[in-house]
Each structure stands twice: as structure tokens, then as C-alpha cells.
Amino acid sequence: MVRHPLMEGWRRLFPGVAVAFLIMLAATFLAQRYGAPAMLLGLLLGMAFNFLSETPKVLPGIDFSSTQILRFGVALLGLRLTIDDVTSLGWAAVAMVVLAVISTMLIGVLLARLLSVESKMGVLTGGAVGICGASAAMAISSVLPQGPDTKRQTLFTVIGVTALSTVAMVFYPVVGSSLSLSDTEMGLFVGATIHDVAQVVGAGYSVSAEVGDLGTFVKLLRVAMLVPVVLFIGIIVRLRRGDASQSGVTAPVPWFLIAFIALFVANSVGGIPRAIALPLADSASLFLLLAISALGIRTSLKEVLTIGIKPVILLVGETVFLAFAVLAYLMWLA
């Protein structure tokens, strides 16, 4: 009996995808039950099943989940933002957010050199801190040069930004209150500094509905920065590898970034009914959680812990820089 190639491919991927899916369900349940970050739980649960990475039957689906499903989830993030959201903030606030993201990444590269850490680690952590935490770390990692330490560095970054984001969710509203920030200033502060979307929502709405709404808008603006940043990094990587020649041939744009832009534009002009756009936008988190669960399976906790103290200093330094930069803008320039 001759099997269809698509059926053969699905049979090959199904075991690994199913394992990652079950871990995603467990992480979602635990996150809702105990209020813990779902991304971190999915990562840690995945790492608990690291022994499956030695099973040939599971590996194809795990690799597919941690790459293609990841990119599909990033593309769906385009449905979380519209042009109206951006313009409603005012161009001064938009410029502040853009400069904060760029400067955080530059500081990440600079600190990496000062600490004698790989430059790509500075790009990875700087992008995760500046843009959108775990989602940015995984998207940026997908276009960076893939070496023996890439997965370990990505997992460390995901764990680190999630932990720091959780601390910030509790601590930053207290900082803003002690500085007598208004609701508008508080919304800008939490939205422009906390790493993950879920923690921005938690911090913002713990203060007031206005802070929560504004903080979420600002955070989604940072999410929109993911497209040009990942595109720029991908082009630089390809140029350094010599994949793009001097004759004017440019590096190809990753398909998931094109999809992100297309969905963002379609969502902005009302081309997608809200009854369809909202569920798809919400599903982005589930696809990313599925991908990070698969990524956890591929790497052991022992490998992550061998990364050393310097990357920890790097990640904390970038987080502190971003917080102080945004506070300086609010206190003296706004």
C-alpha cells in the first residue's frame, strides 16, 4: 500500500508534536491554577522530559514544534496590534519606546563585549529584554547562527527574562507609586520596561484599568518592533556568512515576518473580522507555549546551569538599564 507523502510526514511528526502538546496543556493548567507564568512552566516541564530527546521517533516532531510552530506563533502576534493603537500613544511616546528598544540592544552588545561573552548572547538577551521577553528570544534565536550553545543560550534567556519579568510585575508598581507617577506615566513605565505581555497586564491592572490598558498598548508597540529587529538581524547574519553577494542580491525575508506584517496591516484596516482575529490573536500564546515546551525537551537543566554568571549579569544589567532609561524620560523629558 502506497501512503501519501503528507500522511507519511504527519505520521513522522505526530509523536513529537503530541508530546509537546501534552506538556503545553499541563503548563496551561498549572499556570491557571497557581498564577505562575505559563512560558516558564512549559519550559521547565519540557526540560523534565529531556530524556525523550534521545528517542528518534520523537525528535522530528520536537524539532518541527520548536521551529515552524514557533514561527507561526510569532506571525500571529501581528493580530494583537493595529495602527490606531500606535498613533493613540502620541509620537513622543512611540519614539521613546523605539529608542528604548534600540538602546537596550546596543547596551546588550556592549556589555557582552565588556564581560567577554559572545556578541550574539548580547543580541539575544538585549532583544528579549527590549522587545517582548520569551517570544522575542525565540524569534531572534531562529535567525542567529546556530551553534552547539545556541539552544542553551536561548533557554537561559527565556528562563531569565521570565523570572525578571515576574519580579518586575510585583516590584515596578511599587517603584512607580513611590515616585508619584500618574496613571499615564505608570502605564508607560510598566508597558515599556516589563519583558513579557502577561506580566505587563498583571502589573498594569493591579494599579488601575487605565494603567492596564495603556501599559498593554505600549507593550504591543514593543512587540511590533520584533519584525524590523529580527529582519535586520537576519540580514546581517546572512551578509556575514556571505549568503548575499555584493552584486545587489539581498537576503530573503523570513516568511513569518512577512506574515506578521500582513496580519498587522489587515487587522489595522479591518480586513479580518474581529470574531476571527481575536481567537487567532489569543492562540498565538498557545503556539509559542507549544514551541517552548518542545525547546525545553531538547535541552537539559544541567546544560543551562553551565552557562556561568556572566550572562546573568548581562541580563540583569540590560533590565536595570531599560528601567532607568524609561524612568529618566518620564521624570525629566516627558
Find out whether 107 and 130 touch, Cβ atoms under 8 Å.
no
Q: What residues have CB less than 8 Å from 43, skipping those under 6 apart? A: 155, 158, 159, 162, 292, 293, 295, 296
More confident of the two residues 99 and 296 = 99
pLDDT, average across residues 296-325: 83
**Cα 223 to Cα 31, 43, 67, 101, 123, distances in angstroms:** 22, 21, 19, 10, 16
5 burial class (0-12, 13-18, 19+ CB within 10 angstroms)? exposed
Q: What is the pLDDT at residue 25?
A: 94
**Cα 78 to Cα 71, 187, 217, 292, distances in angstroms:** 12, 22, 13, 19
DSSP state, 180? Answer: T
* One-character DSSP codes across 228-287: HHHHHHHHHHHHHHT-S-TTSPPPPPPHHHHHHHHHHHHHHTT-S-HHHHHHHHHHHHHH
Query: Residue 122 pLDDT > 70, yes or no?
Result: yes
Query: Residue 308 pLDDT > 80, yes or no?
Result: no
Q: What is the pLDDT at residue 85?
A: 66
Give the span between the Cα atoms of 189 and 218, in whole angstroms. 9
Query: Residue 2 pLDDT > 70, yes or no?
Result: no
Query: Residue 1 pLDDT > 50, yes or no?
Result: no
Query: Residue 324 pLDDT > 80, yes or no?
Result: yes
Q: What is the pLDDT at residue 178?
A: 92
Summary mean pLDDT of the chain: 82
4-17 pLDDT tens trace: 566 667 788 888 99
Give the span between the Cα atoms of 247 and 52, in whole angstroms. 46
**Cα 277 to Cα 59, 170, 212, distances in angstroms:** 32, 31, 21
Give the span between the Cα atoms of 151 and 146, in whole angstroms. 8
Q: What is the pLDDT at residue 76?
A: 85
Q: What is the pLDDT at residue 303?
A: 65
253-263 pLDDT tens trace: 567 768 878 88
Place of cell 519614539: 95
Rg of the chain in Å (alpha carbons): 20
Q: Locate the domains of the chain by residue range.
A: 5-333
Give the span between the Cα atoms of 96 and 325, in whole angstroms. 9
pLDDT, average across residues 130-148: 81
23-48 pLDDT tens trace: 999 999 998 888 777 877 887 888 88
Query: Residue 297 pLDDT > 50, yes or no?
Result: yes
